[in-house]
Structure 1
Amino acid sequence: MVTVAIAGGTTGIGSNVLCEIIATGKHQVLVLSRSERPELEQQGISVRVVDYSSRHQLVEALKGIHTVISCIWSFGRDFGTSQLALLEAAKDANVKRFVPSDWATDHYDYVSAYASKSTIWHAVRNSGLEYTRFVNGIWMNLWGMGAPRNEAEALAGYSGPPFLIDLKKRTAIIPGDGSHKVVFTNMMDVGRFVAASLDLQYWAPDSTIVGDKLSYNEVVELAEEVTGHAFERTYCSETEITRVLAENPDPMQLFFYQFMKLIVDGALDFEGTLNAKFPDLKPVKARQYLNRYWANE
C-alpha cells in the first residue's frame, strides 16, 4: 500500500484516476485542490487545499506522500508553472514517484499548446524521482457529448467540445484520407491502468495504454452502423493541413490542425506497454463504447 496524492483529481482524467485507485482498496488517496471540495470530503476522501504559488504550503501538503499524480489540466502559462512548483515541492517532501500531466501523446513538438509539457518532462527526468508518463492517445469520451443514454457516464468527466467527430450532429472531419490508425482509450480504463501501475516494483519512463486502435474512416463507419444514420464526412487533406498551419492561424485553429497533423503523421499509432503488463485488464473497445451510449440513437 502507498499513499497517493492526485493534483487536479476532481474532474476529467483526474476524477477517473481517483475513482479507480479507490476501487482497488489497496492505497490511501488524497486530492490536492485549489479550493475546498466538501462533496469529496463527504465521501471520505481527504482533500488538501493548496496554493501552487506557495512552496511551503505545497511541501507541507506532500509530506508523507509516496506518489504524486498530476492531472492538472489547463493551457497557457499556469499549466507549466503549477506542475513545476508541484515537482519541486515533491522533491523537498521526499516523494518517491511522480507522474506529470500528459494523458494523450508524447509528441510535444507537434502541438504548440504542449510546449510547456516538454519543459516539465525535462525537469521530471532530471528530478531524481522515479517517474512515468501515461500516454493513451485520444479519449473515447470525446464521443460522449449528446449521448442519448447516460451522457454523464459516457463523458466520464470530459467537459470540452467534440473533436473531429460529432455524433450528435452526425458530422465528421477526417484528417488526410482517413486511413491512419489512431489509439482511442476510455478515461475510465486509463484510471484502471494507472491504479494497476501503482503495484509495479519499477516504472518505465513511458507507460502507454491502448483501448482500441482504428482509423477515422473505421470510426465513422462504426458510428454509422451503431446509430443507423449516415454521417456527413469532410476530408481535410494533408496538403490542406500544411497550408493552414503555414498561415499562422489563431490558437484554437492552430491546436486543431496541429493535432490533425499528428494523426496523419502516424504519431498516435503505438502499442500498449501496460496492456502487455496487465493482460487481465480488458479495456473498452470502440464498438462497445458506441453500443453502450449510442446504439439505435
Structure 2
Amino acid sequence: MVRIAIAGGSGEVAREVIDALVAASDNDDIIIFSQNDMHSQSNNPHGLSWRKVDYNDSNSLVQALRDIHTVLSFIQLLHDPENKSQKNLIDAAILAGVKRFAPSEWGSRGAAAMPWWAGKDDIKEYLKQVNTNKKVLEYTLFQPGLFMNYLATPFKTSSHLTPLNTFIDLKNQRAVMVDGYSNAALVLTTVQDMAAVVARAVHFEGQWPVVGGIRGNRVTISQLLEIGKRVRDGSFTVETVKLHDLEAGRLNTSWTLEARHHSVSTQQETEMLKSVLVGVLVSTVKGGWDVSDEWNQLLPDYKFSGVEEFLEDVPWDAN
C-alpha cells in the first residue's frame, strides 16, 4: 500500500493518471490536493480523497504531506509565477519525509523554444540543488513526449484530455514542416500509456531514474506524414517554413493551431496559439520531443499502443 498525494489534481493529465492509479490498486490511498473548496467525496472510488491546501502556508503543507510516500505534481506552470507553489511543495515534502517526488513535467525533455514551459527547467535545477549535499528526495522527470491523442483532434480519444491540434493535422490532411528537417524525430505516447506507466512506477521497487523518459513510439516527421497518408488514404497539403523565420517569431503559413488549452485565457489565445506552433516546430527539430526510454527499460513487459494502429481506430469520417 502506497499513500500518494496529487498536486494540481483537477487538471486533465492529472485525472488520467488518477484513473490509472485507482484501476491499478485497491489498497493505495490517493489524496488529491486542491486550492479550492473540498470536492464532494460521495462518489469517489475507494481510497480516493480530496484535501484543501495552501501552497503558501509551509506548516499546513508539511502537515498535509505527513505519511505521504509519493507526490505527483501537476501544478499548472502558467498559474504558478516564479514556481513558488511547486518549490514550496518540494520543501514541504522534504520536511515531511516524503520518499518520492515527480515534478510537473509530462511532456518534452526540455523547454527550449517553449517559454511557457520555462518553469520546468527551473524546477529541475531546484531539485538538483536540494540534493546537492546528500539525497533528501528521490525524484523522476516523467517525459512521455507528445501525447499521441492530439493527432486524433478533433476527436476525443481519452477520458479527460482535451483534443488539441498540432503541426500535422490528420483530420484536414495538412501539415507544417521545417525545411530540411524531415528526419527530425519525436516521441509519441498515448496519455493512457503514460498514465499506466506512472501507476506502475509508483510501485516500482528499485531506484527511480532522475530522467524518466517514456517512449511509446519514436518516429521521424517524414515517417509520421507517411503514416498519416496511409491512415487517411490520401495525400497531405504540406507547407514548409524556414527555421530562421520561426526563430525570429515569424510563422508564414495559411493556418495555425485552433484549439487552445484551458489554462490560456481568451485574451491570450491568438498569440499563444501561434507561439505554441512555432515553439513545438522549433523544439522538435532541436530534439526537444525526442525523449529517452528509461521507463521502457525498467518496465520491459509493458506494451505501448502503436501510432498507426491507434490512428486507424479514429472515426475520421464522422461529422
TM-score (norm 2): 0.82
Q: Please state whether the residue corresponding to 1:182 is helix, strand or coil.
A: strand
Structure 1 residue aligned with 2:11: 11
Partner of residue 44 from structure 2, selected from 35, 42, 45 = 42
Conserved? CA contact 1:11–1:158, under 8 Å: no
Please show how residues 1-297 of structure 1 align to structure 2 within 5 Å.
Answer: 1-25=1-25, 27-35=28-36, 36-38=38-40, 41-44=43-46, 45-75=48-78, 77-78=80-81, 80-127=83-130, 128-147=136-155, 151=156, 154-159=157-162, 161-176=164-179, 177-198=181-202, 199-244=204-249, 252-294=273-315
Q: Which runs of 5+ in 1 are unaligned?
A: none
Separation in structure 1 between the aligned mates of residue 167 and residue 138 of structure 2, nearest angstrom: 36
1:225–1:279 Cα change, 3 Å: same
Report the Cα offset of residue 191 of structure 1.
Answer: 1.0
> How far 1:207 moved relative to its partner?
0.8
Question: Higher helix fraction: Structure 1 or Structure 2?
Answer: 1
SS in 1 for 2:101: strand
The residue type equivalent to 2:33 in the other structure is L
Query: How many residues are treated as equivalent by the alignment?
Result: 290
What's the CA shift for 1:271? 3.5
The Cα of 1:296 is off from its aligned counterpart by 5.6
Distance of 1:289 and 1:170 partners within structure 2: 17
The residue type equivalent to 1:235 in the other structure is T
In the superposition, relative to structure 1, how do residues 79 and 156 fare at CA in structure 2: closer, same or farther (>3 Å)?
farther
Query: 1:41·1:47 contact (CA, 8 Å) conserved in 2?
Result: no
Paired with 2:127 and 2:274, the residues of 1 have a C-alpha distance of 30
**Alpha-carbon offset, residue 287 of structure 1:** 0.9
User: What SS does the corresponding residue of 2:78 show, helix, strand or coil?
Assistant: coil
Greater shift, 272-281 or 36-45, is seen at 36-45
Shift of 1:187: 0.9
Contact 1:17–1:192 (Cα < 8 Å) also in 2: yes
Question: CA-to-partner distance for each residue in 1:21-67, whole Å, 9 max, x for gaps?
Answer: 22221532221122333278533321112222222332222111011
Partner Cα distance (1:194, 1:113) in 2: 24
SS at 1:46 equivalent: strand
Structure 2 SS opposite 1:293: coil
Distance between the aligned counterparts of 2:117 and 2:11, measured in 1? 20
Q: Could you tell me how far apart the structure 1 residues matched to 2:310 and 2:75 are?
A: 26
Per-residue CA deviation, residues 259-295 of structure 1 (Å, 9 max, x unaligned), is 2111112332243111111111111111121012246
Deviates more, 1:123-132 or 1:71-80: 71-80
Letter in 1 for 2:110: H
> Please, what is the CA RMSD of the aligned residues?
2.5
Q: Is the alpha carbon distance of 1:272 and 1:93 closer, same or farther for their aligned partners in structure 2, counting shifts above 3 Å?
A: same
Q: TM-score scaled by structure 1?
A: 0.87
Residue pair 1:182, 1:215 contacting (<8 A) in 2 also: yes
| Aligned match of 2:258 | none
Using the alignment, how far apart are the partners of 2:79 and 2:8 within structure 1? 16
Q: Tell me how far 1:189 sits from its aligned partner.
A: 0.7
The residue that corresponds to 2:263 in the other structure is none
Deviation at 1:104, TM superposition (A): 1.3
**How big is the shift at 1:231?**
2.9
Counterparts in 2 of 1:40 and 1:31: CA distance versus 1, 3 Å: farther
- List alignment gaps of at least 5 residues for structure 2: 131-135, 252-269
* Distance of 2:310 and 2:241 partners within structure 1: 26
Task: Indicate the SS of the match to 2:161.
Answer: coil
Q: Is the 8 A contact 1:3 1:64 kept in 2?
A: yes
